[in-house]
Amino acid sequence: MLEHVPGWLGGLLRNIRAGHAKLVIVDPDLQLGSTVIDLSSPAFANQARLPVRFTADGEGVSPPLVWGPLPEGTMSLALIVEDPDAPAPSPIVHGIVWGLPADEHRLAEGAIAPDGDGEQDGRDVGRNSYFGEGWLPPDPPTGHGNHDYVFQLFALATAPDIGSNPGRSGLVKAMRGNILAAGMLVGTYSRGEDAELRRSEPAGARIAPA
């Protein structure tokens, strides 16, 4: 949708952004603790530009993800992907996956896709900000500058049932008091300008919980 925003308008909106302080992973009510999940992707490095394949300018499939060891007592995993640079009051949700099994250590390319009532192992793909089930391909306005797409993975002490097709609010509510560890990975994308050069870091973000 946002590919149709003219460049002059994207430029005017350049400083209007939801803000990284509104990401799920920095919500103080979630009480993350100090344990960090090593989250990475074989398709892009942390803070590097997303390949076009995973955006609205390409095939628009979700990227593959892998993660390291999880803390003892992990019962399930939850993933949410948000764009805090969107010209909106809140970050745009690009994907939610809920109820990943604790022995899972990867998410295949294209796995964030409509799945109805979920899979037999308990996982379920939730709603993005456009109220669709599945992956919302990155689609920043032309001329708006670089956008961060923040992949946030949470190890949970429970595997509560929050119903089929969960959204952001249901996910956050169910995670309160249940998070054992969290990990973060950032991919970037922009449209209609030279990609901003950013320092490349080893895949897998390090977060400093409050």
Return d(Cα 206, Cα 188) in angstroms, integer: 17
pTM for the whole thing?
0.86
Q: Provide the pLDDT for residue 196.
A: 45
Q: Provide the pLDDT for residue 159.
A: 85
Return d(Cα 54, Cα 43) in angstroms, integer: 10
Return d(Cα 86, Cα 106) in angstroms, integer: 27
Mean pLDDT confidence for 100-124: 90
- Give percent of the chain with pLDDT exceeding 70: 85
For the chain, the average pLDDT equals 86
Q: Provide the pLDDT for residue 39.
A: 98
Q: Give the range among 58-62, 92-96, 110-114, 123-127 with minimum mean pLDDT.
A: 123-127
**Per-residue pLDDT tens digits for 147-157:** 999 999 999 99
Q: Give the range among 69-78, 116-125, 167-176 with minimum mean pLDDT.
A: 116-125
All structural domains of the chain, each given as residue ranges with its CATH number in brackets, are 2-189 (3.90.280.10)
Q: Give the range among 20-24, 46-50, 162-166 with minimum mean pLDDT.
A: 162-166
Q: Provide the pLDDT for residue 35.
A: 93
Res. 24: pLDDT tops 80? yes
Q: Provide the pLDDT for residue 136.
A: 97
Mean pLDDT confidence for 26-49: 94
Tokens encoding 201: 């870091």
